[in-house]
């Protein structure tokens, strides 16, 4: 009886094992082929399998968007500078390319300028190579301008060598202008040499004039010697005339001597005479008047008129005394016109008397007609 029960128990056990094996895939499947199911943890949201790291360009754009929302200008500038200084030099070109491509917000142009300046300060050769491959346009022009300014400040010799080798005509013009502007303060002669390489025209001549004036303020004799060697007579006379006016601020006698001994003539000479007289009369009107009195009639009229206009504002009695010493004629008439105008502002009772002393009848009638309300 016990034997029968044991046999039945074994049979039942074997049957159960077979059923289990069948449900798990059969006895032919190995234990290792069964993949365990990990426990499910409820984290409250779906978590992606792989996080995407934003690119450097996107990170900068995101940070700029945050900075743009800052209300205080000072704090905004601090954060913008911090962003710029935190970017590695080798990353700047890649980020600037994204600026050229899309410019996503209002701060991007300012950010680009600061970034380019930092690049030029740290690696001007790489920055120059990047600028040279840009298509012509506002961004290219801005890049060339900042290269010329910043590189000249740090290493003018290297900057000049680079500029001389540029094949981009427009870019070269921009760079030369920027470099000359920087050098004008410290080395005006080198600045002038660069400016002479620009395309001839009004803009170039204006640059040459401004740089020459700046040089004349500190070393007028050297500036005059350089200008006197220029082959273009019109440009030479323009520069010499402006040098003499600038020189007259410190030494009107030498300035006047240079002007009269130079090749300057015509309207250019007249303008220079007026400029010298207007400055000289404020410090020594007697000498300025004596200088003007030596001029030929063709030059003396305008010079006398400007002399009296300035002199009478400061000392109308002395100016009137001098007027009575010069010969009658067109020069004196023009000087009296200026004197009458000055007396009018002073409310002098001698106004009509002086107006009636003008020898040119048509001119006297015009001046008196303008004074009729005062004579009533």
Question: Cβ(351)–Cβ(340) under 8 Å?
Answer: yes
In a domain, 45, yes or no: no
DSSP character string of 20-58? HHHHTT-TTS-GGGPPPPPPP---SSPPPSSPPPPPHHH
The values of phi and psi at residue 228, to 5°, are: -65, -15
Residue 348 lies in a domain: yes
Query: Is the residue at 106 inside a domain?
Result: no
Q: Does any domain span residue 254?
A: no
Give CA torsion, residues 272, 277, 282, 283, to 10 deg: 100
pLDDT in tens, the chain (376 residues): 443 434 344 444 434 334 333 444 444 443 344 344 444 444 443 343 332 334 777 787 788 888 888 888 889 889 988 988 888 888 888 888 877 776 656 777 788 888 888 999 999 999 999 999 988 888 889 899 999 999 999 899 999 999 999 988 999 999 999 999 999 989 999 999 999 999 999 999 999 999 999 999 999 999 999 999 999 999 999 999 999 999 999 999 999 999 989 999 999 999 999 999 999 999 999 999 999 988 888 788 899 999 999 999 989 999 999 999 998 899 999 999 999 998 888 777 888 899 999 999 999 999 999 887 655 5
What whole-number distance in Å separates Cα of residue 89 and Cα of residue 121?
10
Calpha distance 342→314 (Å, rounded): 10
Neighbours of 334 (CB within 10 A): 22
User: Which pLDDT does position 35 carry in this prediction?
Assistant: 44
The domain of 335 spans 284-376
> Does any domain span residue 277?
no
On whether residue 26 sits in a domain, the answer given is no
User: Domain for residue 58, yes or no?
Assistant: no
pLDDT of residue 53: 36
Q: Give the angle subtended at the CA of 235 by the CAs of 187 and 175, to the nearest 5°.
A: 45
Nearest one of 166, 111, 167 to 179, comparing CA atoms? 166
Look at the pTM and tell me if it is higher than 0.85.
no
Cα–Cα dist 282/285, whole Å? 6
Task: Residue 258: name the closest of 277, 274, 245 by CA.
Answer: 245
Would residue 1 count as lying in a domain? no
Tell me how many domains the chain contains.
1
10 Å Cβ neighbour count for 151? 25
Q: What is the reported pLDDT for 283?
A: 92
pLDDT at 33 (0 to 100): 40
Which pLDDT score, from 0 to 100, does residue 254 have?
94
Q: Structure tokens of 68?
A: 């743009």
Of the candidates 310, 270, 277, the residue with the CA atom closest to the CA atom of residue 291: 277
Name the H helices within 219-296. Answer: 220-227, 233-247, 252-261, 266-283, 285-293
What phi and psi values does residue 25 have, to the nearest 5 degrees?
120, 5
């Amino acid at each position: 009886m016990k034997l029968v029960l044991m046999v039945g128990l074994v049979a039942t056990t074997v049957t159960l094992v077979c059923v289990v094996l069948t449900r798990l895939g059969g006895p032919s499947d190995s234990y290792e082929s069964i993949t365990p199911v990990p426990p499910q943890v409820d984290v409250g949201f779906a978590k992606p399998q792989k996080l995407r790291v934003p690119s450097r360009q996107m990170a900068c754009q995101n940070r700029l968007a945050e900075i743009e929302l800052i209300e205080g200008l000072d704090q905004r500038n601090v954060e913008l500078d911090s962003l710029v200084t935190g970017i590695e030099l080798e990353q700047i070109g890649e980020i600037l390319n994204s600026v050229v491509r899309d410019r996503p917000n209002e701060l991007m142009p300012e950010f680009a300028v600061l970034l380019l300046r930092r690049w030029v300060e740290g690696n001007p050769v790489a920055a120059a190579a990047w600028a040279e491959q840009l298509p012509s346009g506002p961004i290219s022009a801005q890049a060339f301008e900042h290269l010329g300014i910043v590189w000249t400040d740090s290493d003018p010799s290297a900057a000049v060598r680079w500029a001389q080798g540029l094949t981009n005509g427009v870019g070269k013009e921009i760079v030369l202008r920027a470099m000359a502007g920087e050098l004008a303060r410290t080395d005006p002669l080198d600045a002038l040499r660069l400016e002479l390489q620009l395309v001839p025209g009004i803009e170039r001549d204006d640059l040459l004039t401004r740089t020459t004036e700046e040089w004349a303020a500190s070393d007028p004799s050297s500036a005059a010697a350089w200008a006197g060697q220029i082959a273009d007579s019109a440009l030479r006379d323009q520069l010499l005339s402006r040098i003499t006016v600038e020189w007259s601020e410190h030494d009107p006698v030498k300035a006047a001597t240079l002007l009269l001994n130079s090749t300057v003539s015509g309207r250019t000479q007249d303008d220079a005479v007026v400029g010298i007289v207007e400055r000289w009369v404020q410090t020594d009107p007697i000498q300025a008047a004596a200088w003007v009195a030596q001029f030929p009639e063709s030059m003396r009229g305008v010079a006398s008129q400007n002399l009296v206009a300035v002199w009478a504002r400061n000392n109308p009695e002395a100016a009137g005394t001098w007027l009575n010493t010069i010969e009658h004629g067109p020069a004196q008439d023009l000087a009296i016109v200026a004197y009458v105008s000055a007396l009018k502002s002073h409310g002098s009772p001698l106004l009509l008397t002086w107006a009636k002393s003008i020898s040119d009848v048509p001119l006297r009638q015009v001046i008196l007609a303008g004074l009729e309300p005062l004579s009533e």
